[in-house]
Amino acid sequence: MKTTTKSALKTILTAGSLAFTTASLAAGWEGKWVNNINTLNPGTTIQSIAANANKNAYTSNPALSNNAWGMQGTWLSFNVPTATTAVISATSAATNAPGFTVYRTAAPFTGVVTGTTTTTFTTGAIHGFNQIAQAGMAGIVWATDVTVTSSFPGNTTTNGIVETLGYVNASGIDYTNAYGDRIKAGADDLSIDNLYESGVFGGVETTNGAVYANLTLNNLAPGNYTIFVGGTSTSGTNTPIDVKVSSLPISSSDCVFNWAETNYATLLAPKGAASQTVSNYYLRYYKDTNSYLGVSSTNNHLYYLSSAGGNPQDVGLLTDFMKTAKCN
């Protein structure tokens, strides 16, 4: 549920002095994808085996007051070239309980410290950061992209986080971190709009001696994303955590929409608009051109409605466009 707006961020940020600039550090906590594949194409899966193992890198570390242990967790950056529904899972043996947060980023981001922060970890350095903070808020300002105008003062990060989308905490325990934020057990939607997805949901499942923390992001927009992952239970053991990101197979309609956006960019913008069902149409609305492209369930025809209004134009059978677009 969307409960936070960008305009309200400034009122909930913690004031503080921003005098200490973190040093540029080697990205030793940068995660690696199998075969170095970090592009999530439609219908494919990318994965990181034993991405992390630290039992309390995500939360539950009493020495950090339940803040995330930035340099002991793992940062995994991936790219989405085509709008898709993505399923992210972090899996470990039951001796560990994984947790992770998903961020939209301006470019590939792997936890390298480039921003300005304060002199103590409780206000935002990577050593102990706020794992569920929205971009720009205290606790994550060091990683927030400089284009986020509502950011806490002092942000100088380039190619950083532009929105925090959601998280999963598999410990079964609700934590409160040093920033006063409650890290709920299970999954939670942190997104503030539908700019990068049209819904975030997930959960935790334990079966056959393994723990699965899952998060689904509907209509994930093209662009760059980063996952921060680690353990959530200090009473556990350091057991490897695998991460897998899967793109659900794209529908025939969405395949044609994607093709049309590329070939008719001046009519259908922005590219990668979220699909939705309205009455008997499966469609996309393009806010920049104030136009619609949709498929009618009554006759399987493709329709286009321009900014001029009027009646939707029947442009032909979907199956004909599927052949042109080389959609299966």
Task: Give yes or no for a cis peptide into 153 (omega within 30° of 0).
Answer: no
Three-class DSSP category at 219 = strand
pTM (2 d.p.)? 0.76
Average pLDDT, the chain: 86
- What does the alpha-carbon distance between residue 291 and residue 297 come to, in Å, rounded to a whole number? 19
- Predicted confidence (pLDDT) per residue in 186-224, tens digit: 999 999 988 898 889 999 999 999 999 999 998 898 999
pLDDT tops 70 at residue 123? no
pLDDT of residue 4: 38
Mean pLDDT of 23-48: 80
pLDDT tops 60 at residue 49? yes
pLDDT of residue 124: 60
- Please tell me which residue, 100 or 42, carries the higher pLDDT value: 100
pLDDT of residue 112: 72
pLDDT of residue 1: 42
Dihedral sign for Cα 108, 111, 112, 118, please.
positive
Three-class DSSP category at 73 = coil
pLDDT of residue 258: 86
Tokens of 168: 């999963």
pLDDT of residue 249: 83
Are the C-beta atoms of residues 207 and 2 closer than 8 Å to each other?
no
> Confidence class of residue 113 from pLDDT cuts 50, 70 and 90?
low
pLDDT of residue 209: 92
- What does the alpha-carbon distance between residue 103 and residue 256 come to, in Å, rounded to a whole number? 28
Region of poorest pLDDT, from 103-107, 154-158, 245-249, 280-284? 154-158
Q: Which residues pair with 52 in a beta bridge?
A: 241
Region of poorest pLDDT, from 20-24, 120-124, 238-242? 20-24
pLDDT tops 60 at residue 18? no
- Predicted confidence (pLDDT) per residue in 241-292, tens digit: 999 999 988 788 988 998 999 899 999 998 878 788 999 999 999 999 999 9
Domains and CATH numbers, the chain: 6-247 (2.60.120), 252-325 (no CATH)
- What does the alpha-carbon distance between residue 145 and residue 155 come to, in Å, rounded to a whole number? 8
